[in-house]
Amino acid sequence: MGEDQLRAIVRRNLERVRAEVANAAAEAGRDAAEITLVGVSKYVDATATAVLVDAGLCDLGEARPQQLWDKASDPRLAPMAPVRWHLIGHLQRNKADRTVPLAALVHSVDSGRLLAAVDKAAAAAGKRQAVLLEINCSGDSEKYGLAPAEAIDLVEQAGGMAGVSLQGLMTMGAREGGTTVARRNFADLRELRDNLVSESGVTLPILSMGMSGDFREAILEGATHVRIGSALWTGVDPWSRQ
């Protein structure tokens, strides 16, 4: 696939996804400007990722810390600004030191020990790291994430950390049950956020939920960040090039 063809496909996909986000926002009576589209670039190499940035999408999500490290330093991407890197997958504590200096937002804090590791890494990097708590709203045993009842303890823990700025919550829809069940999971996350705000007095403005197959439902339930991967790479041959 030539670069011109790649650029045309990626731009067309991005325009379509943005239109679908705007339609869902309108359906929910919301302003589409309230919703951050995070382009999941884990599927493609740095060349294709740079095409997406050039098309105007600067919030990029990687599931694996090592891929985030590599792309953030890749000469095809490093000179491009402003790229905001989101770590959307599982973060091991021993990878926090290298990830925190690069990440605009870590979506996947799922334990007190990881929260403490991020706090320590942020202090060493001289920054205050924005994080989300990952909540397993579906109850799927193979998914990472806190049980909803565990969230309040981490909200309180984060409140005492100088290196952490807790911004909200993240979840994924259930593997089974389609968009109907996913929407219920998203509603559960919103309700949990509202309860945490009421109980603790913290401000939790971000709800990261919804992917290519269910972001409409997520937006209807209040998502502020949607994580879109395959819908942006449809028609890129091969679209899984990592």
- pLDDT (0 to 100) of residue 143: 86
Q: What pTM was computed for the model?
A: 0.95
- pLDDT (0 to 100) of residue 88: 98
Summarize the confidence of residues 57-76 as an average pLDDT: 96
pLDDT at 174 over 80: yes
pLDDT at 156 over 80: yes
pLDDT at 242 over 90: no
Q: For the domain 3-233, what is the CATH code?
A: 3.20.20.10
Which has more confidence, 176 or 242? 176
pLDDT tens, residue by residue, 222-237? 999 999 999 999 998 7
Domain residue spans of the chain: 3-233
Q: What confidence category does residue 139 fall into, taking pLDDT thresholds of 50, 70 and 90?
A: confident
Query: What CA–CA distance (Å, rounded) separates 26 from 34?
Result: 11
Query: What CA–CA distance (Å, rounded) separates 196 from 175?
Result: 26
**Backbone phi and psi for residue 132, each to the nearest 5 degrees, phi listed first:** -125, 150
Query: What CA–CA distance (Å, rounded) separates 55 from 14?
Result: 8
Q: What confidence category does residue 238 fall into, taking pLDDT thresholds of 50, 70 and 90?
A: low
- pLDDT (0 to 100) of residue 237: 72
pLDDT tens, residue by residue, 176-218? 889 999 999 999 999 999 999 999 999 999 999 999 999 999 9
